[in-house]
Amino acid sequence: MAYKCPRCGAEVSRGTSRGVTAAAGLVGALFYMAFGAFQCPKCGKIPRSEFSPEDRAKMTRGTLILVAVAVAIAVGVIALLANWN
């Protein structure tokens, strides 16, 4: 998923953080990616409101997929732990 920066046209990426990944694990990292700001290499953080409506629609879809994956993993882990004994 690549989006263009509305200010300079460079490619932005979803923000990721090693610290969050270490602290909260894979599920936390997925939630961070789903709700975190987008990052432009030149302009820094770009709020969603600055992107075009088409890009925002795509982002919403991407976010829903990420959340679905995170929830599926969380449910899987809980099911595994519940059946552990």
Candidates 15-23, 34-42, 56-64, 73-81 — which segment interacts with Zn ion by CB under 5 A? 34-42
Kindly state whether residue 40 participates in binding Zn ion, applying the rule CB under 5 A: yes
Give the alpha-carbon dihedral of 49, 54, 59, 61, to 10 degrees: 140
Judged by CB under 5 A, the residue of 20, 24, 27, 43 near Zn ion is: 43
Looking only at the bridges linking them, the beta strands covering 38-40 and 11-14 are: antiparallel
Residue of 13, 20, 17, 19 lying closest to 44 (CA atoms): 13
In the complex with Zn ion, the residue whose CB is nearer, 3 or 31, is 3
Q: Choose the binding region for Zn ion from 10-18, 19-27, 28-36, 63-71 (rule: CB under 5 A).
A: 10-18
The whole-angstrom separation of Cα 31 and Cα 41 is 22
- Looking at beta carbons only, is 25 or 44 nearer to Zn ion? 44
